[in-house]
Structures are given as structure tokens and as C-alpha cells.
Chain A
Amino acid sequence: MNRLGDQEVAPISFVLDGHSVTAQPQETILQVAQKSGVDIPHLCYSEGLRADGNCRACMVEIEGERVLAPACCRQPTEGMNVQSTSDKALRSQSLVLELLKGEVGPARHSPISELEYWCDSRGLSESRFGGRTQPPADHSHPAIAVNLESCIQCTRCLRACREEQVNDVIGLAYRGARAETTSHTRRAATMAPVSMTIVHLHDPVRGISTELDNTRTPIPPMAGAAV
């Protein structure tokens, strides 16, 4: 038994892919799967960040539910029957990966690509759905360059920046297929927050990929902002 506050809470037993497994209170299906050695694709989930459930790569089928559920956000309940490898779940996982594979440009900006890892695991070498027009690289700042061609709008950089580091210089602008990770305040920000931001901009995920040019000199805060 664990203690949560003053309450004694029991672990939760549920079934994952036909095997009986146990979740601690607050644990998600994905966390239990990882502990149990069950591989479920996931991209927008990152340990230490609030789970957001936007990429939909980790969809699983829960008995009695009409639509699939994101394993990264859903906490199991006692007796729940979860399948990560049903036809319906596998189809959605693979199609999400295939759609995203079409989204990103061919250039590699980091040594490890989680998207490629999961696509390889499913034998996906190309997307039948075609690609998007890539946003132009932004070199307007003297110290930081942003290239969004690998961005899949997973918002990991945004959550890290806003919720963990509390710099709040990254946002998700526009909507639909035009939705774009943005750093509106880049030029207006002081250099201190910007240099802190660089840490998570270098996250090897498919969030923002950056090319940092250390030879440039930091500039003082600027009035007005580039929209």
C-alpha cells in the first residue's frame, strides 16, 4: 500500500495486452507499459513534462470505449482491459507515424530522431500522404537560429519553456495545418532567458531544432517585437 496524502491507496490491477499488470496510483498506461517492457510509440510524451496527449502515437484500445485513448494521459482503473496491439490500435499508431513522417523535412538536425526510431520499428520508410510546405528558417536573431522543418507541433519545447523553466517565450501560434511553434518574444527578450531557452531547444526530439551560433554577440533587449 502507498500513501497519498493521508489516504491509503491500493495499486490498480488491469490487463495490458492479455497480461495482468499493476499500476501505482497516478501512473498512466504508458508508464506501466514501459515498466512491463511493452513498446508503445510515443512522441509528445517526455518524462518530467506534463503529458499532453497531442501526437496520438500512443493510442490504445480500452474495452467498452468507442474511440482509442492516449496511453500517455490515461490512468488505468481496476479491471480495465487495455490492448496496445489490437488491429484498431496498431492501425492508428502507424497512421499517425506515417502522417508525421510526411510532415518533417528530409534534413536531420539531431543525431537521435524518435520519429525515425518509431517509424523504423513499424517498417515505415515513406509516407503515402505527402508532405507540407516547410516554414522558412528564421535567422533574425544574432544568437539563435530556428528551423522548424522537423517540428511536429508536439509542444514539448513549449511545455518545458512555459511550465518547467517558466521562461514562457515559446508559444503555439495559428491553428490547423498552419499551427506553428513560435518564439514571438525572441528579439524582445533579454539574453538571459534566451540562453536558458537554448537548453530545451536542443532537445533531440522533433520539437524545435536549433542551430546555435556561439560566435555572435548577445544584444541588449530590443523594443518592439517581430511578429
Chain B
Amino acid sequence: MPIQRDLLIEYLHKLQDRYSHISAGHIVALADLMKLAPAEIYEVATFYHHFDVVADGQPIPPALTVRVCESVTCELFGSELLVSSLQASLGDDVRVQRVPCVGRCDEAPVAVVGKNAIPRATVSQVSDVIREGSTAITAQPDWISIEEYRRGDGYKTYEACRAGSLTHEHILDELESSGLRGLGGAGFPAGRKWRILKDQSAPRLMAINIDEGEPGTFKDRYYLERDPHRFIEGMLIAAEVIGIDCCYLYVRDEYPGVLQILEDAIKELGSVFDNQLPEVHIRRGAGAYICGEESAMIESIEGKRGMPRLRPPYVAEVGLFGRPTLEHNCETLYWVRDILEHGADWFSGQGRRGRHGLRSFSVSGRVKKPGVHLAPAGISVRELIEEFCGGMLDGHTFNAYFPGGASGGILPASLGDEPLDFDTLQAHGSFIGSAAVIILSDQDSPRQAALNTMRFFSHESCGQCTPCRVGCDRAERLMELPHWDTELLEELACVMEDASICGLGQAAPNPIRTVIRYFPEEVGAE
């Protein structure tokens, strides 16, 4: 590896992977090698949860860590008991850690032994896996190789785009009329974003967000584990149309399998195409939800603490390494080929209740068939449960749902016929975000689910701005009380929403507010 400032997190991974911790000596040595102050290395290393920075004389963590997901869906399915039982039974040679969402909510509760994710984990299963030493990356589903992808006309659209038979203007028009929007959660129109970037001065860069950390969301992993080239083709088309020579893929560290697949798929690409392809760099996250925020991700790719930047300037103007940057969620690019092949009308023609397009819902919770369900935009949650998820689990009655992961708030079953799409849930104090739908039943507590999300936000706040750093922590404490001081919580919610730097702090009050609004009896507000 070359010595580059922006590769700091990659170097820290090498140390952590090799020694299962990072010592003071490692930091000083790395500082010397990189000609950086140890303080700069230390502050980056301690920012990320996947680095264990250990002081001289302090115990080194065991080589093996079992990470138990404690986010909403896993908590519904007993993660708390799993953690305590594992801690009691595994002994000192194995570290059991509670961790935020690992992106496998349809298999809850999930424990990850080393890099091996155990679906519907039990103590005996985890113990067996440890005994067998199966700590390597979870077995991957067979993914579509480049040969197979090309047999299905894969990369034809990209080749047509390069050859000029598919003009850049036509592609931009199609994207715009398809109504494709950013599927990471913000919903910015993709075609408009491409046009904005095209008008910026070169060199321009692309940064792709595969840091799928929103609790309840696992659609990006689902697509990349099956059909990575469809996403890569979208990326190459974007690079060609906009004029981008260099793309960065930021993959969350919880997805080592995806990282492996992408590395292999990019290698395959090089063997088929000439050297006219843009440079592609894959970067590994290190356990930080905030790095899914677009500007925090850019900071992290630059090898820094993942702290969001103040806007303006926007990343389209001043982004990665100070250059104009196209930042996309990977699913947004995944649909580009299909839209160009089948036409904008094919995509925009789908939808219900006057909404347009398709949404990949990551559904988890109390349904018979949790998983990624591709459904028309504007579908209601009741339809989603009945038509796509095989109905509710036996013995459970639909009571509430998160329409958009932890940050989208919690809605009651009485709002179960609302269209699920961008812009349709604002009036209810909620949003669809990354379309992570978590279904709660009459046996679950919305109040407990809201507290779970606030603990998550508190754990994941970057700590930069007061409203989020102090606000999430205090909100968590106030929500732990038997009776919520709803007036004080509302004041806190206001400053978090109005004054936080980024979407994490701005959206973190949604679960508080929706529980007070729709489930007042649960918090002693009535």
C-alpha cells in the first residue's frame, strides 16, 4: 500500500485485523510513517467502533468478538436475552458486544461470530460455530458473474453510451422523466443531480454510498450479493455521461461479503474492458452509521473522523478532496440500466395511489416473509404485509410500523393505508427514507422501540454539534423515565431538528414525537 493520508483508515484496519487491537505504539509508529501528529491518528482511530484502541498496560481484547445486533428488529426477536446468555456461557476468551444494526433484520436475531453472520441465532448455534472455528465471511449466495451478466445483454447499454449511439442528452432526459430519485433516503432527483455535476468543472469525482446503516435497511446488501454488475454498469454510465474519471465505493465494515464481491466483480470488469474505464477505489468503513451521511462519508474516504460538513457548499460543488462530487446510494445506480433499456415510462408507469416508480422495501418484524420486496411506490403498509410478506406472524396483530428505519418515526396501524413514498408521510411526522419497514404487533411496545432508536442515535452521533451530541444523550435519559416529560422532550426535539448540522440530529426526534402523538397512553402523557 502506498503511504497516503486518505488511506489512514485502511492502515488502521490492517493493524486491527492483525493484532485485534491498536496500541499506543502502533499509533506512534503510524504517525512517524505518515508524518502526521499522533493526535490526528488517535482521534481518527477512536472515532470508529471497529477499532479497539488500547492504552499501555490495559488488557487486549480477545481475538474473537461475537457481535450481537441490538437494533429494533433484533430486539423484538430477543437479542437482549441472547446477549446475556452468550455473556454467561462463552467465558473470557470471546468478547460479546452489543452492536447497532448489521443489516440482516429479516434473519433476526443476528449474531456475527468474527465475520460469520448467524441468522436467527441461538446460544447453542453460536457456541457450535465458535467450536468449529467458522469465523470467516458468511457463505454468499451465488452472484451473477460478468459472463452471465453479459449473456443477458449486460454492459450493452454502457457500450452504447460509450459509442455514442445512446447520447448523453437522451440518457439524462430518460433519467429525468423516469422520476428516479436518490434511494439512500433523501430522494433527490437523480437526473437533476447528474446535470448539476455535468456543469461543474473537471476533475469531478464519484462517491458511492454502500454504508447501509439505517436500522431495518438491507436492500443494498441484497442487490450487491446477487447482481453486482447491474450496479457497476449504472456507475459506469454515470461516469461516462458526467465525465468522471475516478469512483470511490464506500462499503460498511459490517458487509465484508459485499466488499469481497465488489473487489472480485471490479477485477472481472478489467478483464473484459480495455483500460478506458474510470479508476475504481473501494474503501472499507469501520463501524459508524454517521458515515452514511454524504459529507461524513467523504470525510471518512479522506481518512478522517466521519463528521458531517456544514453546507453550503454542497458536495456537488465542493466534495471529495475538494472536487465536485456525484454522490449516490448504490441502489439509485442499480436501476439506471433497466430504465434506459425498458424506457423511462416502464419505471414511472408503476405505482399506486398516484405515485410513480418502484421501491425496494426492506421489511422485517412480525411478518411471515420478511425480506427485500420490490413493490410499487405508493403501496400501503397493509398491502405490503398482505401481498408481499405473507401476512402477519401467527398470533400477532398489526399495531404499528416504522416506515423508514429508525429515523422515520413510528406510525400506528390506523395510518396503515397511507401511500408509502417520498413526500407522502410528512404530514404524519414521518418519512419513508430508505424504505426500511419494521412491523410491530400488539405484543410490542412502540415506546420501547422508540427508546431503542434513541439509544442508537446516541451511540452513533458524531459528537460535533451540541443539539445532537448532548440532545440525543439527554433525550435517551428522559425517555427512560416511566412518565415522559413531553413538554421538555418537545423543546429538545425542536432544537435537535432546527439546529443540528446533519440529518442524524435533525431526524432523531421523529420517534419521540410520533410516540407522543400516536401512543400517548404508553408514555403517561394522557
Contact = CB atoms under 8 A, between A and B. Distances in A.
B305 A172 contact: yes
A76 to B, nearest CB: 12
A225 B461 contact: no
A53 to B, nearest CB: 5
B303 to A, nearest CB: 14
A133 to B, nearest CB: 11
B39 A183 contact: yes
Contacts of A100: 466, 470
B472 A92 contact: no
A197 B206 CA distance: 39
A92 B499 contact: yes
Contacts of B63: none
8 nearest CB pairs, A to B? A179-B463, A171-B43, A168-B37, A171-B39, A227-B55, A95-B495, A177-B473, A176-B461
Nearest to A168: B37
Interface of B: 23-25, 27-28, 37-40, 42-43, 46-47, 53-56, 58, 288, 290, 305, 310, 458-467, 469-474, 477, 488, 491-492, 494-495, 497-501, 506
A98 to B, nearest CB: 9
A198 to B, nearest CB: 16
Interface of A: 53-57, 59, 67-68, 70, 73, 88, 91-92, 95-96, 99-100, 102-103, 128-130, 132, 152-153, 162, 168-179, 182-185, 188, 224-227
B464 A54 contact: yes
Contacts of B506: 67
A225 B43 contact: no
Contacts of A95: 467, 491-492, 494-495, 499
Contact of B474 (A96, A99, A153, A172): A99
From A68, A185, A226, residue with most partner B Cβ within 10 Å: A185
A54 B465 contact: yes
Contacts of B473: 132, 176-177
Contacts of A176: 458-463, 469, 472-473
Q: Which of A88, A162, A183, A184 has the most CB of B within 10 A?
A: A184
Q: Is the interface of A mostly helix, strand, loop or mixed?
A: loop
B54 A129 contact: no
A130 B58 CA distance: 32
Contact of A173 (B25, B42, B310, B460): B42
Contact of A99 (B310, B458, B467, B497): B467
Nearest to B46: A173
Given A152-B466, A177-B461, A177-B463, A225 B46 contact: no
- Interface centre among A168, A171, A182, A227, by most B CB within 10 Å? A227
Contacts of A174: 46-47, 463
Given A73-B310, A172-B305, A68 B498 contact: yes
A173 B459 CA distance: 14
Contacts, number: 157
Contacts of A55: 465-466
Given A54-B464, A54-B465, A153-B463, A92 B494 contact: yes
A91 B40 contact: no
Contact of A96 (B47, B460, B499): B499
B463 A88 contact: no
A141 to B, nearest CB: 14
A53 B494 contact: no
A56 B462 contact: no
Contacts of A169: 37, 39
A174 B500 CA distance: 19
Given A96-B466, A185-B37, 7 more contacts: A70-B310, A91-B494, A130-B477, A168-B39, A177-B461, A177-B469, A179-B462
A96 B28 CA distance: 37
Contacts of A171: 37, 39-40, 42-43
B27 A88 contact: no
Contacts of B501: 53-54, 56
A217 B121 CA distance: 58
A129 B39 contact: no
Contacts of B24: 224-227
Contacts of B288: 175
Contacts of B38: 184-185, 188, 225
A152 B464 CA distance: 10
B15 to A, nearest CB: 14
Contacts of A56: 465-467, 495, 499-501
B472 A177 contact: yes
A102 B288 CA distance: 27
A41 to B, nearest CB: 12
Given A129-B474, A177-B473, A225-B24, A67 B459 contact: no
Contacts of B467: 56, 92, 95-96, 99
A178 B491 contact: no
A119 to B, nearest CB: 13
Contacts of A91: 491, 494-495, 498
